[in-house]
Amino acid sequence: MFCSDSITLFEQRITVYETIALVGATGAVGRIVLEQLVQRKFPYKRLKLLASERSVGREVRVGSETITVELLQSGAFKNIDLVIASTPDEVSAEFAPWAVEAGAVVVDESGFWRMDPTVPLIVPEVNPEAVDSHSGIIASPNCSTTQMVVALAPLHKAAKVKRVIVSTYQATSGAGLAGNEELHDSVRTALSGQVHPPSTFQHPIGFNLIPQIGSEKHIGYTSEEMKMVYETRKIMGDDDIQVCPTCVRVPVTVGHSESILVETEKPLSVDEAHDLFQNAEGVTVVDDLESQQYPMPRDCEGRDDVFVGRIRKDLSCNNGIAFWCVSDNLRKGAATNAVQIAELLFERSASSGEKS
């Protein structure tokens, strides 16, 4: 798929990346990636910001320095070790091969590469070993899939997940900055007794729910729903897992929520499931119905974990566990997962003596 020379820069042990690049630096997710790089003290010497023509020349504050955004073009990746990218699919399809040919590894958040059999699809808490199989591009999953597989992973390891029924309640920021702007405009217009004409969504989102995210894809399921089917199987490494998703857009700015029913091959008690969640990396349990304690988007915003609550036995299935799952879709669902993949690359290269 890619030139074999593209990995020669990484066949050595490293202690720091000389130069990394962020593509899509001025977007909502890109801004959080920058925050994460600083807060998590990611090991690099120089950072390059790349974007489309409309953002070129913009100055962006990153920690203690100010960096000027440069044009995303084929020659922009010379001497770049690592690229983290948050762009539309068609942009990634064009630039990622440029970066790989120049010798960089690309951690990509678009949907374009996710189901490519030569590209690993990574959630570090779930399948970190898959990162070693990359050929220059590593994909980060869809936001709704990411939080679900983090929660499913401990159950799958203990009792083998057979079937998942999931309904998502997805924030408007999943459609980018335009999604949140439309929510605000739609709510203001609705409060005045009028209807705001939708442009980002199919219908007005203010005080409304829209049971369609993406286009019709397969026998009545949408593209967002089918992503959850295919990506879950790829990440979990099990094509036999059956997933039945319904994805709904809700009038919340940040934080995707999911109602999940899991059927396992081996029985799990509620206490066992609770302990598995409690001990799982990247999962925080908030589960006390009597005290009205459970995850909610407003409490999870700005936090990197996946939050689980309302853990209970399925009344319709002997080996079923039901639970509620919430995560900040801009962080663990996107920016944080990408930075964690980059950290995983660095850690494995440092421990193995090779830059993965």
Residue 351: band (very low, low, confident or very high) from pLDDT cuts 50, 70, 90: low
Residue 14: band (very low, low, confident or very high) from pLDDT cuts 50, 70, 90: low
**Does the structure show a pLDDT above 80 at 269?**
yes
The whole-model pTM stands at 0.93
What pLDDT was estimated at residue 349? 77
Mean per-residue pLDDT for 133-154?
A: 98
Q: Indicate which residue of 143, 247, 300, 325 is catalytic.
A: 143
What pLDDT was estimated at residue 5? 39
What pLDDT was estimated at residue 101? 97
Mean per-residue pLDDT for 114-141?
A: 97
**Tens of pLDDT, residues 217-257:** 999 999 999 999 999 999 999 999 999 999 999 999 999 99
Tell me which CATH homologous superfamily contains domain 145-328: Dihydrodipicolinate Reductase; domain 2 (3.30.360.10)
**Does the structure show a pLDDT above 70 at 11?**
no
Q: Indicate which residue of 134, 156, 256, 325 is catalytic.
A: 256
Establish whether 256 is a catalytic residue.
Answer: yes
Domain boundaries, the chain: 4-142+334-352, 145-328
Q: Do domains 4-142+334-352 and 145-328 have the same CATH topology?
A: no
**Does the structure show a pLDDT above 70 at 20?**
yes
What pLDDT was estimated at residue 298? 97
What pLDDT was estimated at residue 2? 45
**Tens of pLDDT, residues 151-191:** 999 999 999 999 999 999 999 999 999 999 999 999 999 99
What value does the mean pLDDT of the chain take?
94
Mean per-residue pLDDT for 65-71?
A: 97
Residue 15: band (very low, low, confident or very high) from pLDDT cuts 50, 70, 90: confident
% of the chain beyond a pLDDT of 70: 94
What pLDDT was estimated at residue 13? 53
CATH topology of domain 4-142+334-352: Rossmann fold (3.40.50)
**Tens of pLDDT, residues 70-92:** 999 999 999 999 999 999 999 99
**131: nearest Cα among 158, 165, 106:** 106
**Does the structure show a pLDDT above 50 at 9?**
no
Establish whether 300 is a catalytic residue.
Answer: no
The sign of the dihedral angle between the CA atoms of 41, 42, 44, 50 is negative
What pLDDT was estimated at residue 348? 85
